[in-house]
Amino acid sequence: MGKNFNLVLVFTPLMTTHFLYAQDIQPHSDKNVEVISVTAQKRPQSIQDVPIAMSAFGEADLDKIGASSFSDLTVMVPSISVQTGSDAFPVTYIRGIGSNDTSIGAEPSIGVYIDGVYASRLGGAMTELLDIERVEILKGPQGTLFGRNAIGGAISITTKKPSDELAGKIKLEASSFNSWQTSGILNVPLIDDSLYLRAFGSLTQSDGWQKNTLSDENGYQKDRKTAGLKLTWEPTDDLAINFSNTWSDYDDTAGYLDNYLSVFPISPLTSVLDDKKVVNGGLDAFSNPANNQAVNVPVFKRDLKEHWLDITWYITDNLSLTSLSTYRGYTTTSSREYDGTELFIGENILSIEESNSMSQEFRLSSDEGALFWLVGVSAHKEDADLDFTSKFLDLGLLQGTSFNFGAPFTENSLTSSTSESFAFFGDTSFDINDRLTLTLGGRFSYDKKSMNYDNGLHENGAAAFGGFGIIVPTPHQFVDANGNVDLAATKVKDSWTDFSPRLVVDYKLDDTLLYASITKGYKSGAFNSYPSPDATNGLMVVPEARESVAPETVINYELGFKSTLLEQDLTINGSFYYMDYDDLQIFQVVGTLLQLTNAGKAKSSGLEIDSRYYLNNELSFLINATWMDTQYDEYQFAGTDYSGTALLYSPELSASFSLDYQTSVGQLGELNAFLTYSYKGKHFLSPGIEQESYALLNGKITLLNEENNWELALFANNLTNKSFLTSVSTSLASFGVIGANRNTPRSYGLSLSYRF
């Protein structure tokens, strides 16, 4: 630890930026930076004036990096990790805090907000970055202003709104794995100075990069359609009404799992399985990640619809009232085979999830210059259903055997949940003098959740080993404390309340903002979506497996600074934080237990330094670095003590270095070259399973013509073709099977854009 910490200190004078600046493709004639405007505190501010550790990416930044999804930004923000095997279950970690349970009974730790609207399920949140004005990434608890489940941080995505000019953009892109995308944007003023329309859409296709040696069905195929329509109506100077309707349809394949497989090691079946040439024969090696022998194609399908209405009434020049209403609904279908062989010996899971949510927020705010305040009330409701089917142990196809093993064991569980949340919140900033500002805020939250379980539909359970005459018991039945079947216990509910305050003091020097803050974070309580049977209890679901999981809370202490030096040629932002967690919610798999539970205590501390230096009118350097120290102070599960081990996805050191070069090439126009080298230290993917450190190299070269309307770009990602694991699955660990998802190999492509 000491050696890595010293390395961070050595780099501190230069450290990093997370693209804090709005940029044009043209060279900076005076090298001064136009600082991006953000709304992290629910009002427009320069990012250098916001006493919060954060990163921001404007439209030009996203284009320069070549970011088409949120996960593409992780190379620029070292404190962030995104765990993905498909877009069905993306999990984001900030400063080592995230939620590895994405089911309907659990809640995320990182809040995702699209145009200020909370996206309650990550499966419906991580959309393509299309027609985006900016992306803001706020680190540490942000619940006071943003609301639900932003205990680890908030991701705020702001899309472009209609404007009063006729404009548009068409983009064509072709890349590796026979991938292509076409997208279009059109902005039309319908009534001068009053009514404006904006429409966008995209089509995406890809053959996928992961081969299946038994079929032509590759993993990570894409077939996506997205469309949206927005209207802005300003009937008077005092009233603005914005409406948005978005739709997307995904028909993809997810990634096949790389597997370490050692099924029944003392069984004579082992030799039969070995003859089948299981693709990856060792946990450490995962020696052939690009190929897989799975029988069933992993599926990810999603249908998403969102309607959004924002009404702002400017009561006076300094006082405004905002109403934000939304409906968001989606259905996802995902399936995954977990043994990775041509034999159906492992588990095949089909999951169909449907979510419908509505939210309403009212905010009254005033900005008098020296005094800013806002008060608000919000309500959120979500109804979600999960249809979960699991099939495993169909051994009848084993070559060289004459046994009749019968049909595969099939289990179906139907789960539904209803979540309701109400909150009152307020925040105020007061300038004590020209340099010193005090900010006070707080949110009172009430959360209520109910779960309804319908388990035990075992279609072929009793015949699973019919060839042996063995009758398989029916597990997953709910029993009471005396072991008797308890059907009434399939309905459970609980509620929780919380008050989360924040206190910030900031002091302005001539070129530097200094700040100190204390913030409480809160994540609501939860339930297990799959109340697991315990082998020691006859595979029955005991009452404690159905008990609610306590809310998660944190106190975050932070010191930071934001400096603009050398006539704005050098920008350095830094923060040191210490987070003290109680009842951290952890999803763990041990044997037959799949359970969301609470770790008693955990802590996370770290140092983040961000900077950018303009060497001259054409060349600038960016260096990003984060040092983290995390651990569970109290955490025991299934007889194992994890106290003292690091949190998941929390590498001790992560960093990136970027080179940004812009120059004129005469009549051809302007040339930009952007190159990023990113490093992530070793970290745990699951308790006891560690990913070694790795580095990535990405680059993009862009040519913009003199009229600023044609753009040609060549890009490449993972130039060194580095291979590493992004997540693991331990749901079949009791059978000796551990699955893993892997990163995308080297890819490259070409894009052509036209603006008018």
DSSP code per residue over 224-285:
EEEEEEEEEEEEETTEEEEEEEEEEEEEEE-PPPEEEE--STTSTHHHHHHHT--S---TTT
Contact 95, 153 (CB under 8 A): yes
**Per-residue pLDDT, 686:** 81
Which helix (DSSP H) or strand (DSSP E) does residue 216 occupy?
A: none
**Per-residue pLDDT, 392:** 64
**How sure is the predictor about 592, in pLDDT bands with cuts at 50, 70 and 90?**
low
DSSP class per residue in 138-155:
EES--HHHH-TT-SSEEE
**Per-residue pLDDT, 595:** 77
Averaged pLDDT for residues 455-469: 46
DSSP class of residue 646 equals P
**Per-residue pLDDT, 253:** 87
**Per-residue pLDDT, 334:** 84
**Per-residue pLDDT, 217:** 79
Phi, psi of 282 (to 5 degrees): -150, 140
Q: Is the model's pTM score more than 0.85?
A: yes
**Per-residue pLDDT, 206:** 95
**Per-residue pLDDT, 23:** 41
Site of tokens 């095997």: 85
**How sure is the predictor about 335, in pLDDT bands with cuts at 50, 70 and 90?**
confident
Three-class secondary structure assignment of 692-723: CCEEEEEEEEEEECCCCCEEEEEEEECCCCCC
Domain that holds residue 528: 2-755
Q: What pLDDT digit, counting tens, does each position of 609-666 carry?
A: 999 999 999 999 999 999 999 999 888 776 778 888 899 999 999 999 999 999 999 9
Contact 564, 48 (CB under 8 A): yes
**How sure is the predictor about 1, in pLDDT bands with cuts at 50, 70 and 90?**
very low
| Total residues belonging to the chain | 756
Q: What pLDDT digit, counting tens, does each position of 397-453 carry?
A: 443 344 444 556 666 778 899 999 999 999 999 999 999 999 999 999 999 999 888
Averaged pLDDT for residues 140-159: 91
Three-class secondary structure assignment of 165-189: CCEEEEEEEEECCCEEEEEEEEEEE
pLDDT > 70 in the chain, percent: 75
Averaged pLDDT for residues 543-564: 89
How many angstroms separate the Cα of 708 from the Cα of each of 131, 202, 344, 664? 18, 22, 57, 13
Residues 6+ apart with CB under 8 A from 522: 141, 143, 151, 445, 498, 500, 551, 552, 553, 554
Q: What pLDDT digit, counting tens, does each position of 364-405 carry?
A: 999 998 999 999 999 999 999 988 777 765 554 443 344 444
**Per-residue pLDDT, 742:** 85
Contact 643, 603 (CB under 8 A): no
Q: What pLDDT digit, counting tens, does each position of 497-542 carry?
A: 999 999 999 999 999 999 999 999 999 999 987 766 555 555 556 5
Structure tokens given for 375: 């008060």
Q: For residue 552, give the CATH number of its domain.
A: 2.40.170.20
Structure tokens given for 26: 């043209």
Site of tokens 């966008």: 200
Q: What pLDDT digit, counting tens, does each position of 718-748 carry?
A: 999 999 888 887 666 555 566 778 889 999 9
**Per-residue pLDDT, 725:** 86
Q: What pLDDT digit, counting tens, does each position of 97-110 carry?
A: 988 788 888 888 99
Indicate the average pLDDT of the chain: 81
**Per-residue pLDDT, 478:** 64
> Number of structural domains, the chain?
1
The strand pairing partners of 291, in sequence order, are 211
